[in-house]
Amino acid sequence: MNTLKTTQTVSVHSLEQDPVLPGKMFSMRHFEGVRPHQSELLVPHRKDYYLFVFARRGGSRHWVDMTPYDTRDNTFYFFGPNQVIVKEEPKDMWGTAFAFDKEFLALHDNASLARLPIVRNEQNSHELVLSEADVAFTEDMLAKIQKEYDEPGEWQQRMITAYLTLLLTYLSRLYSEQYESISSSTDKSLLKKYRTAIDENFREIHQVSEYAALLYVSPGHLREVVKGQSGKPAIAHIQERMVLEARRMLFHTEYSLKEIGFDLGFSDASYFSRFFKREVGMTPAEYRALTREMYQ
């Protein structure tokens, strides 16, 4: 496995270290005019936990994987361990946030949560637009979870899990409607497994045939199914994941182009530069300069 030996400049925050929402395994907080913690402003970071935020009143600005977002009223936001986040504007926030880590998902009663679309987030999305009915349901569930969270007792964990499962299942349906057409077919399942395998192995494996071997299908069948289900060639999914990570590293780290290319499995820096320019339309150096100029 190719890994960088230099120190990461994109820090990874644990749930216990969160300055606003600290907790062990699960944490929750209601906000009424609360500002982001100064330590997180303009600092790129990843979280090693899952964060969900219902924004009743928006207006702040943040970046997720180099894309800027202006927080909107009555919108549900979600972040996963792989996304790079930058909080830009220290504006007051009204809403409710909750978070849990992988240890929480590993608990027996919570195992099914890990399979929900909004938790898996295979579309690498970030926000859900809510209707009035969605807002009412979400607020009701959050109030119930908050009540249990604030009143420790013998049944607290089970009640939180029950309400949380209901809320995230409801939001997963919205996620599926807004970001993907859910199908229970074998082909749709294979596409999901392929995307998951890419996310776990894109630094080492760059060939469709190798992923086919991992998934115990023929390369031809994998290519056919992926193209039919997603509308894109199977190789495009691998390339897009590599480009996404390259963008993240170019924008958020000071690694050299050679180091980034090596981390992504390229033994030659010039090959990495040619690959990136073919996919993005500019060289890695041009992209780094442009995005940092836009951000500043």
Q: Give per-residue pLDDT as tens, 156-194.
A: 999 999 999 999 999 999 998 888 654 446 788 899 899
Which of 179, 209, 226 corresponds to the end of one domain?
179
Whether 145 contacts 98, CB under 8 Å: yes
Neighbours of 79 (CB within 10 A): 20
Question: Looking at the domain assignment, is residue 260 inside a domain?
Answer: yes
Neighbours of 210 (CB within 10 A): 15
Domain of 230: which CATH number?
1.10.10.60
Ranges under pLDDT 50 in the chain: 1-8, 182-184
Which of 179, 202, 234 corresponds to the end of one domain?
179
- Please tell me the predicted confidence (pLDDT) of residue 149: 94
User: How long a stretch of residues is the chain?
Assistant: 296
- Please tell me the predicted confidence (pLDDT) of residue 1: 40
Q: Which amino acid is at 96?
A: T
Helix (H, G, I), strand (E, B) or coil at 131: coil
| Count of structural domains, the chain | 2
Residues 175 and 239 in one domain: no
Domain of 28: which CATH number?
2.60.120.280
Question: Looking at the domain assignment, is residue 100 inside a domain?
Answer: yes
Which of 163, 179, 195 corresponds to the end of one domain?
179
Q: How far is Cα of residue 142 from the mean position of the Cα atoms in its chain?
A: 21
List of residues 6+ apart from 187 with CB closer than 8 A? 225, 228, 229
- Please tell me the predicted confidence (pLDDT) of residue 292: 77
Residues 78 and 126 in one domain: yes
- Please tell me the predicted confidence (pLDDT) of residue 8: 47
Per-residue pLDDT of 135-153, as tens digits, reads: 999 999 999 999 999 998 8
Residues 105 and 16 in one domain: yes
**Could you list the residue range(s) of the whole structural domain that residue 104 is in?**
11-179
Residues 29 and 157 in one domain: yes
Residues 157 and 264 in one domain: no
Q: In angstroms, rounded to a whole number, what is the distance separating the alpha carbons of residues 16 and 26?
A: 9
- Please tell me the predicted confidence (pLDDT) of residue 295: 59
Residues 172 and 36 in one domain: yes
- Please tell me the predicted confidence (pLDDT) of residue 5: 37
